[in-house]
Amino acid sequence: MKLMGMDAVYKALADPTRRDILRLLKDGEKTAGQLAERFDISGPSMSHHFNLLKAADLVFTRREGQQIFYALNTTVFQDVLTAIMDLLHTGEPVPDRPDTESGRETAPRTRHRKGES
């Protein structure tokens, strides 16, 4: 996914109403009306949220007569997770974590430069 696409995704995910819409869609597709009735906001505001979700490619839409159905685009969520993991990976070794079985912390690894012991 291109950077501009990721910016649109981050913008879409930044709003709690849009995150709530996505949560409602996790159980399957819903019409715009079914989604809108769950929120106490105006029609134009709901339309704005739907448009941002579509622009970020987070939802698929299909029209059936006058109804517009929305469904999650899970492929984009996989791309987002990959991008976040790439942001977190620095190329450095992962620091030691507490040993979960014994509850004790493992000793940190010592890094040596080439030629040192």
- β partners of residue 59: 72
19-32 confidence digits (pLDDT tens): 999 999 999 999 99
Nearest to 84 by CA among 18, 14, 15, 6: 6
33-88 confidence digits (pLDDT tens): 999 999 999 999 999 999 999 999 999 999 999 999 999 998 888 888 888 888 88
Please say if the pLDDT value at position 108 is more than 80: no
Q: Sign of torsion, CA 97 99 103 106?
A: negative
Whole-model pTM: value is 0.69
